[in-house]
Amino acid sequence: MTDIRSIPVDFITTSQQLLDLTDEISRLDRIAVDTETNSRHGYPERVCLIQIATFEKAFLLDPLMIENMSPLGLVLADDSVQKVMHASDQDVRWLERDWGFRTRNVFDTSVAARFAGKSKLGLGNVLFDMLSISIAKDPRMQRSDWARRPLEHEAVLYAITDVWYLFALQDELYRQLRQLGRVEWLIEELARLDDVKYVRPDPEYAFLAVKGTGKMNGRQLAVAKHLFRFREAEAIRQGRPPYFVLSNEALIHLADNPEATLIEVPGVSQYVVDRFGRQIREAVREGLHVAPVNRPSGIRCRPMNVLQSQQLARLTQWRTEQAERLGLEVSVIWPKVSLNRLARKPDSVHTELTSPQIRRWQVAEFGAMIRGLSEAASS
């Protein structure tokens, strides 16, 4: 195992350095990529560091100093250069959110690890399981403000660790998946990562993402919406995460109990009362005096009847048995939403097998079983 402290590191802080780097890495077959944001300290959050590794060295890109980031976008979009990443979903979205970059040809080691039967998918867990590499994940670094400069030495080591071992991990995952006969499964799943996009929340309904709004009535939703809008505006004004202004717990409690005394609301400190009490009470009053909020219309399914519930139980049991047989998580075997549709309409199995949600490898591996279970229920 390479001592992370011995890895050569280049700091990229100017547009010319970035241009030179991208000219170099655009000729490679693969690079390792990761990002760090200031989500715990700034608002709106932004990518504050981008880590790239080759076989020879690591590069730390400082987007807070680089004026022109566009050369990186060309490399990320280049299909001829594979981007090896771990749990790439958020990183890919952040890169598009901040610069409009689309990332193509991603090999996600966490996705590959799922097909290898791993259930603990954190990078540290997968590296230890696959390569017996133990990496230190300092909680202090995970909570640190990545917008602060200069970077601490410990932060640099932490950032490099996230990319340096990805090539070895990728190679070992390929080796194991070839033995298991699941490489084609992985290739199909990785191809879908090209479609991952950042979707900006609808400002009209962004507040519905707060946990606890799901069971609220229209009046409670109106209060929650006005509290959310106040919190969002104040967080942007301060440049601090929304929970510094008002926690989700407090927001939900006030929407449920608009007459509550602020200091008695869970999660509301005396500081919050002194600093924001007037604005919070005003937001609550506005929510009480506007029209109730109607949720966006959506498809509501009727409750299942007895036969449908029994069929869902059979399909769920089948999925569990296949997962145990193959040593995989149940979600890898077949989507739960598809099983629900099949339980309601067993005769729709042909349509289901051609659904975009169903992978070709799933049809090849399990299609005959699903068809048999559905036809038995239809007869």
Domain with CATH 3.30.420.10 in the chain: 4-195
Q: Which two tokens stand for residue 86?
A: 């771990």
Q: Which homologous superfamily is 206-289 in? A: HRDC domain (1.10.150.80)
User: Which CATH architecture fits 4-195?
Assistant: 2-Layer Sandwich (3.30)
CA 252, 231, 224, 206 dihedral sign is: negative
pLDDT band at 4 (very low <50, low <70, confident <90, very high): confident
Mean pLDDT for all residues in the chain: 95
Q: What pTM does this model have?
A: 0.92
Domain with CATH 1.10.150.80 in the chain: 206-289, 306-378
Task: Give 302-342 pLDDT, tens digit per residue.
Answer: 899 999 999 999 999 999 999 999 999 999 999 999 999 99
**What is the arrangement of strands in the sheet containing 47-53, beginning at the earlier edge strand?**
9-12, 58-61, 47-53, 30-37, 82-85, 106-108
Q: What is the pLDDT of residue 137?
A: 72
Task: Give 73-92 pLDDT, tens digit per residue.
Answer: 999 999 999 999 999 999 99
Q: What is the pLDDT of residue 136?
A: 77
* CATH 1.10.150.80 holds for 306-378: yes
Q: Which two tokens stand for residue 67?
A: 């004026």
Alpha carbon distance 174, 186 (integer Å): 9
Instruction: Give yes or no for a contact between 79 and 104, defined as CB atoms under 8 angstroms apart.
Output: yes
